[in-house]
Amino acid sequence: MLTHRRWKSLDRADLDWLRAKHHFAVSAGGNPAHAALGPLIVWNDDEIAVGGGFPMHGHRDMEIITYVRQGLLGHRDTLGSEGAIHAGDVQVMSAGTGIRHAEFNRGEVPLKLYQIWLLPREAGGKPAWDTKPFPKDDRSGRFVVLASGFAGDEGALAIRADARVLGALLKAGERVRYELSPARRAYLVVASGRIAVNGEFVGPLDGVAITQVGTAQISALEDSELVMVDAG
């Protein structure tokens, strides 16, 4: 079953420095149709103005993955970690028993990113942070695992959740298959372009929940950038 979450249907937040769309409801007043999908509870599409950002704040017992689409993300946390994360890079943070961090636009253009929150397998644990570039050429015509909570996904950033975060770049006319057992769930977002999933149209910036499906057949109707969470 495919359940579409079209761009226009997403909850939104507008501040002086932040424009955000929420694929999953983040408050009691949010779209009730946009509930969590297994361990996947947040997927925000954020645009942060030049000079803007989230001041130092805290999290615990959460796996937070940041996928930078445009610009330069600055990171600072109470572990002493500092990073500059470029478009195409991915950042992961395991909040564990507690971590405080700040995220901000370090570039000269609006910063566009996806922030994805996953519930961990277990509460607690030592907080951790990591980042890694993922060259887009490596994702051409196929899904590449960017972050994973499973052993054997070599090259992926480690997270502590029963999930994988994947990315793909498809040229117009290309197709890719993703195998899912009917018991697993996935959420796919079109970062750019237009695609069809099992024959159903998915437009730019739209999301689609994929459940009770053995195979997702994805066809690019134009050059497209895809991000997906296989959510267990």
Q: What is the pLDDT of residues 51-93, one digit of tens each?
A: 999 999 999 999 999 999 999 999 999 999 999 999 989 999 9
Q: Both tokens of residue 184?
A: 């697993």
pLDDT over 90 (residue 163): yes
Q: Which domains does the chain have, with CATH numbers?
A: 2-230 (2.60.120.10)
pTM: 0.96
Q: Taking all residues of the chain, what is their mean pLDDT, rounded to a whole number?
A: 96
% the chain with pLDDT above 90: 92
Which pLDDT does position 150 carry in this prediction?
94
DSSP string for residues in the chain: -EEEE-GGGSEEEE-SSEEEEESS--STTS-TTS--BTTEEEEEEEEE-TT-EEEEEEE-S-EEEEEEEESEEEEEETTS-EEEEETTEEEEEE-TT-EEEEEEE-SSS-EEEEEEEE--SSS----EEEEEE--GGGGBTSEEEEEESSTT-TTSEE-SSS-EEEEEEE-TT-EEEEE--TT-EEEEEEEES-EEETTEEE-TT-EEEEES-SEEEEEESSSEEEEEEE--
% the chain with pLDDT above 70: 100
Q: Which residue has the tokens 């999908």?
A: 37
